[in-house]
């Protein structure tokens, strides 16, 4: 990414020019949510102003236009993920709802008491709790893959956990706390040797690295639009057709049915079987616009530039006395969690905020991981392609000042 490209990209994101407490905003909380380019916000406005009508059932001009835009968005998501069939894309409210859908529907169809589900210690709560709820409902057991000192999954432990009782494996592609990029292709291959399906939580991978669900051979792959520069409240579940056909609907209502009588209801075909109620057809078109925007820059270019930011940020952080970086995996995405001496992460975050710098502190919705590391939480700086080395320099200067005040 050269200087001119960066200037143009930053101009696409009006919020980056905001001041907070009279200071230039430095937004390093991209793992929580990303900022939105003008084209995504404008898409929402255009959709409401020019073709807002309920989709699929209306036989009038506006409804047909809105339906076409929504279904074209589904095709965009399928192409972005490298899915071969657009019917394999289900729109959900986001990653969390997508995992709940699979845990509920897959659990209903395929799990019985005594069965086991495998997750890992570095999962976000949304890839733990839905499975725990399933375990409670059906009398299953949750098995957990551990990590090594760098924050990498221990594949030897994983191999010992896979057995004839395992019904599904569900792991993150990238950790939202440690930044670790997990070897999901290998994880899937090992599970498939035993005919076990795998769900990959792609909330932190899809925005930062090239993902192709067909190459990975993932059975389910989920992500949220808001983490990839799209709107809040929408996301996607990719599921192999064979699995989506084999599991029951998640919610009942309009759209997901073929015919309804009081005696019997028959369900609609894919993908509508899993989309009860009026879908977020405004969100879906803005979601597709966000995908178009990042594709225009290029995912490989984004990944390479963010890797530069990661290396530069890590190197500069190490200048600070007492710096402890939490998560030093060999394959890492642009997330840096850290602690300095005995200073509480919350104090660092609060003072950085007053200097205009947005980072996140605490458990990052991954309490079991934080507990297993025996730490009170972390400060987390997470970069996007609109961030710059100059921002990292300003962050380091501010952090040195904050650490000086708190030491």
- Would you call 21 helix, strand, or coil by DSSP? coil
Enter the DSSP assignment of 271: T
CB atoms within 10 A of CB 85: 13
111 in catalytic set? no
Find the part of the chain contacting ligand PMP (CB under 6 A) among 132-140, 185-193, 199-207, 326-334.
199-207
Find the part of the chain contacting ligand PMP (CB under 6 A) among 102-110, 122-130, 241-249, 345-353.
122-130
Burial of 376 (0-12, 13-18, 19+ CB in 10 A): middle
Among residues 39, 111, 135, 365, which one is catalytic? 365
Give yes or no for a contact between 16 and 10, defined as CB atoms under 8 angstroms apart.
Answer: yes
Q: How many CA atoms lie within 13 A of 217 on its CB side?
A: 13
Per CB under 6 A, does 124 bind ligand PMP? yes
Instruction: Considering the complex, state which of residue 73 and residue 177 has its C-beta at the smaller distance from ligand PMP.
Output: 177
Q: How far apart are CA 373 and CA 149, in angstroms?
A: 9
List the structure tokens of 233: 């409240």
Per CB under 6 A, does 96 bind ligand PMP? yes
Instruction: Considering the complex, state which of residue 46 and residue 232 has its C-beta at the smaller distance from ligand PMP.
Output: 232
Minimum separation from the CB atom of position 57 to ligand PMP (A): 28
Instruction: Considering the complex, state which of residue 25 and residue 32 has its C-beta at the smaller distance from ligand PMP.
Output: 32
Give yes or no for a contact between 34 and 207, defined as CB atoms under 8 angstroms apart.
Answer: yes
Contacts of 298 (CB under 8 A, 6+ apart): none
Please identify which residue in 67, 69, 73, 94 interacts with ligand PMP, judged by CB under 6 A.
94
Instruction: Considering the complex, state which of residue 81 and residue 399 has its C-beta at the smaller distance from ligand PMP.
Output: 81
Please identify which residue in 30, 47, 67, 95 interacts with ligand PMP, judged by CB under 6 A.
95
Contacts of 315 (CB under 8 A, 6+ apart): none
Minimum separation from the CB atom of position 391 to ligand PMP (A): 22
Residues written for the chain = 407
Minimum separation from the CB atom of position 81 to ligand PMP (A): 16
Find the part of the chain contacting ligand PMP (CB under 6 A) among 52-60, 91-99, 106-114, 393-401.
91-99
Burial of 379 (0-12, 13-18, 19+ CB in 10 A): buried
Please identify which residue in 203, 228, 237, 326 interacts with ligand PMP, judged by CB under 6 A.
203
- Would you call 34 helix, strand, or coil by DSSP? coil
Per CB under 6 A, does 204 bind ligand PMP? yes
Find residue 180's DSSP bridge partners.
332
Instruction: Considering the complex, state which of residue 121 and residue 340 has its C-beta at the smaller distance from ligand PMP.
Output: 121
List the structure tokens of 22: 């009279």
Per CB under 6 A, does 170 bind ligand PMP? no
List the structure tokens of 169: 């494996």
Restricted to residues 54-73, the positions that interact with ligand PMP (CB under 6 A) are: none
Give yes or no for a contact between 177 and 329, defined as CB atoms under 8 angstroms apart.
Answer: no
Q: How far apart are CA 179 and CA 175, in angstroms?
A: 5
List the structure tokens of 177: 């706390």
Per CB under 6 A, does 219 bind ligand PMP? no
Give yes or no for a contact between 311 and 328, defined as CB atoms under 8 angstroms apart.
Answer: no
Minimum separation from the CB atom of position 5 to ligand PMP (A): 27
Identify which of 97, 127, 133 has the alpha carbon closest to the alpha carbon of residue 274. Answer: 97
Find the part of the chain contacting ligand PMP (CB under 6 A) among 36-44, 104-112, 141-149, 201-209.
201-209
Please identify which residue in 30, 67, 120, 126 interacts with ligand PMP, judged by CB under 6 A.
126
Per CB under 6 A, does 224 bind ligand PMP? yes
Minimum separation from the CB atom of position 126 to ligand PMP (A): 4
Number of residues that bind ligand PMP (CB under 6 A): 13
Find the part of the chain contacting ligand PMP (CB under 6 A) among 80-88, 121-129, 132-140, 260-268.
121-129
Q: Which residue numbers are catalytic? A: 365
Q: Which residues bind ligand PMP (CB under 6 A)?
A: 94-96, 124, 126-127, 172, 176, 201, 203-204, 224, 365
């Amino acid at each position: 990414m050269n200087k001119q490209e960066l200037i143009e990209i930053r101009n696409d994101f009006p919020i980056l020019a905001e001041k907070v407490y009279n200071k230039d905003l430095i937004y390093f909380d991209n793992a929580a949510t990303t900022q939105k380019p003008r084209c995504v916000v404008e898409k929402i406005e255009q959709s409401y102003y020019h073709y807002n009508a309920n989709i699929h059932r209306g036989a009038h001009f506006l409804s047909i236009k809105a339906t076409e835009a929504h279904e074209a968005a589904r095709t965009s998501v399928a192409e972005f993920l490298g899915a071969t069939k657009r019917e394999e894309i289900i729109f959900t409210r986001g990653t969390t709802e997508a995992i709940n859908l699979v845990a509920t529907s897959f659990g209903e169809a395929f799990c019985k008491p005594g069965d086991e589900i495998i997750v890992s210690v570095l999962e976000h709560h949304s890839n733990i709790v839905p499975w725990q709820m399933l375990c409670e409902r059906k009398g299953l057991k949750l098995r957990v893959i551990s990590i090594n000192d760098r924050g990498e999954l221990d594949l030897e432990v994983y191999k010992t956990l896979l057995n004839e009782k395992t019904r599904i494996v569900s792991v993150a592609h990238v950790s939202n706390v440690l930044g670790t990029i997990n070897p999901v292709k290998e994880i899937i291959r090992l599970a498939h040797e035993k005919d076990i399906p795998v769900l990959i939580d792609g909330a932190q991978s899809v925005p930062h690295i090239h993902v192709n669900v067909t190459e990975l051979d993932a059975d389910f792959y989920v992500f949220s639009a808001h983490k990839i520069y799209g709107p809040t409240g929408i996301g996607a579940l990719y599921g192999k057709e064979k699995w989506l056909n084999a599991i029951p609907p998640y919610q009942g209502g309009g759209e997901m049915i073929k015919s309804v009588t009081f005696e019997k209801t028959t369900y609609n075909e894919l993908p509508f079987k899993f989309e009860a109620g009026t879908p977020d057809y405004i969100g879906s078109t803005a979601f597709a616009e966000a995908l178009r925007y990042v594709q225009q820059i290029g995912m490989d270019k984004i990944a390479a530039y963010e890797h530069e930011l990661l290396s530069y940020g890590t190197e500069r952080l190490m200048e600070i006395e007492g710096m402890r970086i939490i998560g030093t995996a060999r394959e890492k995405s642009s997330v840096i969690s850290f602690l300095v001496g005995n200073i509480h992460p919350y104090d660092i975050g609060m003072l950085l905020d007053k200097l205009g710098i947005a980072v996140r502190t605490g458990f990052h919705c991954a309490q079991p991981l934080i507990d297993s590391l025996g730490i009170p939480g972390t400060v987390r700086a997470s970069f996007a392609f609109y961030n710059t080395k100059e921002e990292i320099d300003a962050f380091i200067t501010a952090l040195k000042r904050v650490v000086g005040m708190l030491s």
